[in-house]
A and B are shown apart, each in its own frame.
Chain A
């Protein structure tokens, strides 16, 4: 395969007393996709930030195309040819495609600060062609584009600086299946141009489909050697990542539902995102909801909880019928929602315990005004133990926690508000394997206690593994229902895609 474009030797990095990277070495060759795996907090991001120049290693050596380099800032990384595609896209929504691609790197007349717009236009045109966006006008405002296209523009941006190595940090987490296919096609194409990739993902499917080699990090250590992907199997990799054997990835407990209907949705429509939606949820049941991005699943759930309006239909919850929902009423009656974006479920700048008691603060006041901090702390502490929340203390800010632990805080908040029905929109999105299993265990705990759960997920195996029943949404309608025993990925996909189905 020739010489490595990049070698990182014995990289060490500490933050205060925490050793984020303990002697990690890592190489990437031209034209390969190098998978970098590990749970959240394993050190992947730290390693990549060092490479991209936004962090400095405490010690160690970086060799770029055979010569040792010190990468002091993002500009230097760009100059060398290292392009980082961030998970939170590093683009400006108000600017157009061309301005975004050339951000910080606009062609000028000689060394003057005057922009050569003609050259800029030609250059962005050429790069858009390279990422398969030849038909896109460079003048389109970024906010008018889908996330998938934005991802490609982010790659185009890196290519415009002649990147030879692209770092992709969970590039597919917000994309539709079709967009993922496009992205993968572009990656395959760029590989033939000799560009190397570091690919970070939590999705095993992608690891085996796209990867050439793989390195696993755990707690700042490199586990084993870098291996070729055809030499390893999924179980090995998961074992390396979590450091223990996960015998049951989907620890579903059965027979918890008791037939009593908790929620009934009758003919819900908003005439825009969803139409005539009807379904029931029983106590002790996990109802899975499958559907592509844009199928209306999120919108339906938001309407049920009261985050958006519906124009006809009604909801029967706990025996009471509602012709319109409001979040405060829903919560009071015991329906809680865990939104897709954790940022909109949590006050990230506030301590854990305040987040936990947020939706049920009534129970923590005397005389309607004075907050009982002691009681808040006690209750939050109780949930910390119960949900196995990994936080040193509950006075830590929610924003300092990892994704999985943030999710647990949201669940604690809903539990604290005495919720009986939990609507969870992609609860394991972007959280690592170990934390996922813990979320699944909490699901079991909930159903065992007679709570109902509506689970929306972008990951098919998770839906199949954890649901008692799955309903499938397409274009805002419920197009099918599958009992647990008849759920297979093929059947669900068929219904999602709307293929002819005579079963």
Chain B
């Protein structure tokens, strides 16, 4: 009895996002005969892969009470280094990729250091690194799109496995699982939620607040590097501005998924639902022939709507 009721409460907690997602899904299935097909489903997932990988890192940072505005820029810079490294600097593709991921991770580490040790607000620190990383990417690429990448990257970014599952989706699934295990099964995950919920309480409970925060930001950088790998492969090219707006969509995925923007609570399952909501919206409306403009308007309404519903529900539950 007790177990059941807590399960129901848990489900209700993810309620608004699941509800919106299901409604959206059903509406799309009815409106577009092509929607409910394996290929469309894979298409949604494939198009969500890059955003999803970023959202996992973003979710960790937000749950820890921060925000990461630099995920898109870290990804763009990492991707540019991967592309320029192998086409212009003469690095073996694998080394270029590792270098790109390492650079993103390093910027994540810097974000963590600036917020935890220097004491800057997350918004300011990551706004700064975002801007600087954008500039750095422009220098690396000379402001030009870079193409002519190795086959390996193109395969992972754009092709499918023999069983029909795109490699990029496989990477997304792995990252999601890693994120879920980190959050639900490790002390690090509990510590993230603790410092996001009440930093002082976490400190006096013997949690190393700074290390936890730095680690969350560093992971966000690492995931941005992995996302860069997938994105560059899919585009078969890289340019300095390819990460623009990704940070905001990543925040949207996290928030639609029921994670509190104030930190302290949230889940990876919710983040996945938020991601799929955005993916379904975009792909479904594509199929129905709506322009990007209308997709954006709808997404805006969904973001505000879901969070409003969440607030209402929380108030009602508190009574």
Contact = CB atoms under 8 A, between A and B. Distances in A.
Contact of A90 (B185, B193, B201): B201
A94 B265 contact: yes
Contact of A115 (B2, B185, B197, B206): B185
A147 to B, nearest CB: 15
Interface stretch (A60-68, A101-109, A421-429, A436-444): A101-109
A113 B186 contact: yes
Contacts of A73: 206
A90 B200 contact: yes
Contact of A92 (B6, B186, B194): B194
A54 interface: yes
Contacts of B201: 89-92, 103
Contacts of A178: none
B208 to A, nearest CB: 8
Given A114-B186, A115-B185, A90 B197 contact: no
B155 to A, nearest CB: 33
A74 interface: yes
Interface string A89-129: 11111110001001111101000011101000000000000
Contacts of A54: 203-204
A143 B9 CA distance: 14
A94 B193 contact: yes
A189 B260 CA distance: 40
Nearest to B318: A143
B190 A99 contact: yes
B289 to A, nearest CB: 42
A99 B193 CA distance: 10
B204 A108 contact: no
A92 B191 CA distance: 11
A469 B161 CA distance: 83
B218 to A, nearest CB: 15
Interface string B178-214: 0000000111111101100110111111110000000
A52 interface: yes
Contacts of A92: 193-194, 197-198, 201-202, 264
Interface residues of A, number: 32
Given A103-B194, A103-B201, A104-B194, A95 B264 contact: yes
Contacts of B204: 52, 54, 74, 84, 86, 90
Contacts of B205: 74, 90, 103-105, 157
B190 A106 contact: yes
Name the prevailing secondary structure of the B interface residues: helix
Interface string A312-338: 000000000000000000000000000
A91 B207 contact: no
B194 A115 contact: no
Name the prevailing secondary structure of the A interface residues: loop
Contact of B260 (A84, A94, A113): A94
**Which interface residue of A73, A103, A114, A139 has the most chain B CB atoms within 10 A?**
A103
A137 B187 CA distance: 22
A90 B198 contact: yes
Contacts of A143: 318
Contacts of B193: 92, 94-95, 99
A79 to B, nearest CB: 8
A78 interface: yes
A72 B190 CA distance: 24
B186 A95 contact: no
Nearest to A52: B204
A135 B288 CA distance: 54
B198 A104 contact: no
A93 B197 contact: yes
Contact of B198 (A84, A93, A139, A144): A93
Contacts of A106: 187, 190
A115 B204 CA distance: 21
Contacts of A102: 190
A27 interface: no
A94 B206 contact: no
Contacts of B194: 92, 95, 99, 103-104
A270 to B, nearest CB: 14
Interface in A67-82: 73-75, 78
Interface string B8-48: 00000000000000000000000000000000000000000
Nearest to A84: B204
Contacts of B197: 92-95
Given A91-B198, A93-B197, A94-B260, A115 B318 contact: no
A261 to B, nearest CB: 37
Contacts of B6: 137, 139
A94 B264 contact: yes
Interface in A433-475: none
A74 B206 contact: yes
**Which interface residue of B186, B201, B265, B318 has the most chain A CB atoms within 10 A?**
B201
**Which interface residue of B187, B189, B260 has the most chain A CB atoms within 10 A?**
B187
Contacts of B200: 88, 90
A113 B189 CA distance: 10
Contacts of A137: 2, 6
Interface in A261-308: none
Contacts of A91: 198, 201
B314 to A, nearest CB: 9
Contacts of B260: 94
Contacts of A86: 204
A398 B205 CA distance: 29
B207 A103 contact: yes
A88 B2 CA distance: 31
**Which interface residue of B189, B194, B203, B205 has the most chain A CB atoms within 10 A?**
B205
Nearest to A116: B185
Contacts of B189: 115
Given A93-B197, A137-B6, A103 B186 contact: no
Contacts of B206: 73-75, 78, 104-105
Contacts of B185: 114-115, 117
B244 to A, nearest CB: 33
Interface in B201-235: 201-207
B119 to A, nearest CB: 16
A468 to B, nearest CB: 37
A99 B191 CA distance: 10
Contact of B187 (A74, A84, A115): A115
B187 A113 contact: yes
A342 to B, nearest CB: 18
Nearest to A107: B187
A54 B209 CA distance: 14
20 contacts: A54-B204, A75-B206, A84-B204, A90-B201, A90-B205, A92-B202, A94-B264, A95-B193, A95-B264, A99-B193, A99-B194, A103-B202, A104-B202, A104-B206, A105-B206, A113-B186, A113-B187, A114-B186, A115-B185, A117-B185
Nearest 4 A/B pairs, CB to CB: A92-B197, A104-B205, A90-B201, A75-B206
Interface of A: 52, 54, 73-75, 78, 84, 86, 88-95, 99, 102-106, 108, 113-115, 117, 137, 139, 143-144, 157
Given A90-B205, A137-B2, 15 more contacts: A54-B203, A90-B198, A90-B204, A92-B194, A92-B202, A93-B198, A95-B197, A103-B207, A104-B191, A106-B187, A106-B190, A108-B187, A113-B188, A115-B189, A115-B190
